[in-house]
Structure 1
Amino acid sequence: MSEFVMQTQDLVKRYGKAETGRLAVDRVSMSVRRGEVYGFLGPNGAGKTTTLRMALGLIRPTSGSATVLGLPAGRPEVTARVGALIEGPGFYPYLSGRDNLRTMARYRGLPDSVVDAALERVDLADRGDDRFKAYSLGMKQRLGVASALMGDPDVIVLDEPTNGLDPAGMADMRALIVDLARGGQTVLLSSHLLAEVEEICDRVGVIAGGRLLVESTVAELRGGRRLRVTGSPVDRVLATAMRIAGEEAVHLEGQSVLLDVPADRTPEVVRALVADGADLHEVVISERTLEEVFFEMTDSSPTDRLHAQAPTLENVR
């Protein structure tokens, strides 16, 4: 049994004429391992949703291929084992949440019993008989996730599952995703909330300009710890840091000097700085956040940047 449940190979999607049309996805090769939570990240217009739609067989790639559970994407036997919420939920507005899920279950050949279980998992059991049109944005999103969970699929693809949820609902959704992975299901999560991805994802893929920039574990992507030194005069702190760690391992950030050195070298660094006559104000061990790494990789401008609770990063539509 392969360790990969989803793989794409050189996926390309071009809209319009073959040579002059808009290139939305450019040779994306990604792999999602069995039982992991995989975070798919990218700025607005990066090609995330287009890639997911091709990986699920919802649209045809211009070239390249995608396999799910070892079979070509889009085959009926594959679709039956995949649950997905892509580009927001779409349901009949005049049906209740429960009846919408019953309709989906019957279409997929599932018994009605899966409906109540799915509603319970997303905390909508007491609102299942309300009409969908009366649902808030967060409730609609939870119903979409419930639809994806019906039938206990092997692979679950969630596109912005916490969109519209309040902080408590977001925490519940994160806990649900982690629980799904612990139970052996694989979750591919597309999200603009980097703090969320950092907290629950095992590996991430970062896409920008239609190209996959990196695929790595969160820990590897963030890199090791850094030593942040604030002291004066700054030029003396900088010179001493470069002498100790080397020029390429030292970075100036505002009035602080960052050193890419192991934490156990902290006493050595402090002694050297004091010996060189620097006045130390603060010495802390810091780690780069996934947000910082993302900005560096995608060259996001301040107005384009993500914030942990501010949804400024949106999917390709």
Structure 2
Amino acid sequence: MTTHARTQAPADASRHSARRSEPPVVTTRGLTKRYGDRLAVDAVDLTVRRGEVYGFLGPNGAGKTTTLRMLLGLVRPTAGTARVLDRLPGEAGAVARVGALVEGPGFYPYLSGRDNLRVLARYQALPASAVDAALERVDLAGRGRDAFRSYSLGMKQRLGVAAAMLGDPELLILDEPTNGLDPGGMAEMRALIVDLARQGQTVLLSSHLLGEVQEISDRVGVISGGRLLAESTVAELRGGRGLFVHAEPGVQALDVATRLAGDGAVHAVDGGLRLDVDPARAPDVAHALVTAGVDVHEIRPLERSLEDVFFELTTSPATPASTQED
């Protein structure tokens, strides 16, 4: 898969700050979907900004795919509103500027990968060169002549992403784009998504792979039981950082740590202590412990992963039970 940038933390604060004043690419207010007496999506308010990678997280049955389908105009909401590129979902002016891969790719099995894309390109009045460029970007140029039915799950997923990219849409909505890919393919897909955002496209990414989302997303929304529980940058959602200290004797180490960090800022965890202090204070903490005659076995920065936050949010007793409709 050819990309211009390797995967790295979401970047360019200047790029995002410059675009923050622009109108959002996606907004929903009170977006709700019922299927009979089952509430699939419950009054969701989300905002996707231009040029960012937005990670949409939730357990199976949380309402992710139903939300995405409403944004694409494939499902009519029961209540609430949505705007996509300042238009109603499904309007011609929005559809032409959005590329999507939702609930797996659907292609003609007897046609080659290239011919499947040519059919789509013809509908969009795009030249054949657009098809070749899309195949190249997802590393399928060498298999473009093969029938779609011969593709592995990962190759089918790549072709689906290539189809979504045709015409360089302003917004890409990708539902589990790394499904079926091996570790190398997953890394290349992450790099491609980062590259697309760097070039100015906006990516709304639904995934259950939390490490993947943490690595490439600028902001995330967490949904469970149809309700949006949190929406923030990854850093803000992960919260404050701290230090992990393993030192002996433990009672003396606890006393020193409490004097340094203050009451309520020291917690016993995993056979050691967690100090709710800036990790930059590690040298001071180590010096104080050693000076007090405490043996320091380990001291390292400690911060919550996105996975930690996700499970805290989605397993809270206040979280509604997941619906069966995703």
Partners of 2:263 and 2:223 in 1: CA distance: 30
Map of 1:28 onto structure 2: 44
Map of 2:227 onto structure 1: 211
Query: Are the equivalent residues in 2 in contact too, given 1:33–1:186 (CA < 8 A)?
Result: yes
Structure 2 counterpart of 1:2, from 3, 22, 39 = 22
Q: Name the stretch that deviates more: 77-86 or 203-212.
A: 203-212
- TM-score between both structures, scaled by the size of structure 2: 0.86
Corresponding letter in the other structure for 1:289: S
Structure 1 residue 62, shift from structure 2 partner: 1.0
Deviation string for 1:127-170 (max 9, x for gaps)? 11111110000000000000000001000011111111112211
Partners of 2:313 and 2:255 in 1: CA distance: 28
Deviation string for 1:193-245 (max 9, x for gaps)? 21211111111111112111111111212223311011234344345434432
1:11 corresponds to 2:31: yes
Query: Are the equivalent residues in 2 in contact too, given 1:206–1:212 (CA < 8 A)?
Result: yes
Deviation string for 1:10-47 (max 9, x for gaps)? 1111110xxxx111111111111101111111112211
> Any residues of structure 2 matched to 1:234-313 within 5 Å, and which?
234-274=250-290, 278-299=294-315
Map of 1:63 onto structure 2: 79
Partners of 1:233 and 1:120 in 2: CA distance: 60
Map of 2:165 onto structure 1: 149
Partners of 2:252 and 2:60 in 1: CA distance: 42
Query: Are the equivalent residues in 1 in contact too, given 2:279–2:302 (CA < 8 A)?
Result: no
Partners of 2:283 and 2:188 in 1: CA distance: 42
Query: Are the equivalent residues in 2 in contact too, given 1:82–1:155 (CA < 8 A)?
Result: yes
Query: Are the equivalent residues in 2 in contact too, given 1:48–1:316 (CA < 8 A)?
Result: no
Structure 1 residue 291, shift from structure 2 partner: 1.6
Structure 2 counterpart of 1:189, from 172, 182, 205 = 205
Q: Name the stretch that deviates more: 210-219 or 144-153.
A: 210-219
DSSP-derived class of the 2:163 partner: helix
Quote the RMSD (CA, aligned, Å): 2.0
Query: Are the equivalent residues in 2 in contact too, given 1:234–1:255 (CA < 8 A)?
Result: no
Residues matched between the structures, number: 299
Q: Name the stretch that deviates more: 61-70 or 291-300.
A: 291-300
DSSP-derived class of the 2:25 partner: strand
Q: Name the stretch that deviates more: 99-108 or 253-262.
A: 99-108
DSSP-derived class of the 1:73 partner: coil
Instruction: Decide whether aligned partners of structure 1 residues 273 and 154 sit closer, same or farther in structure 2, where only a CA change above 3 A counts.
Output: same
User: Alignment identity in percent?
Assistant: 67
Query: Are the equivalent residues in 1 in contact too, given 2:176–2:206 (CA < 8 A)?
Result: yes
> Structure 1: any 5+ residue segments left out of the alignment?
301-314
- TM-score between both structures, scaled by the size of structure 1: 0.88
Map of 1:72 onto structure 2: 88
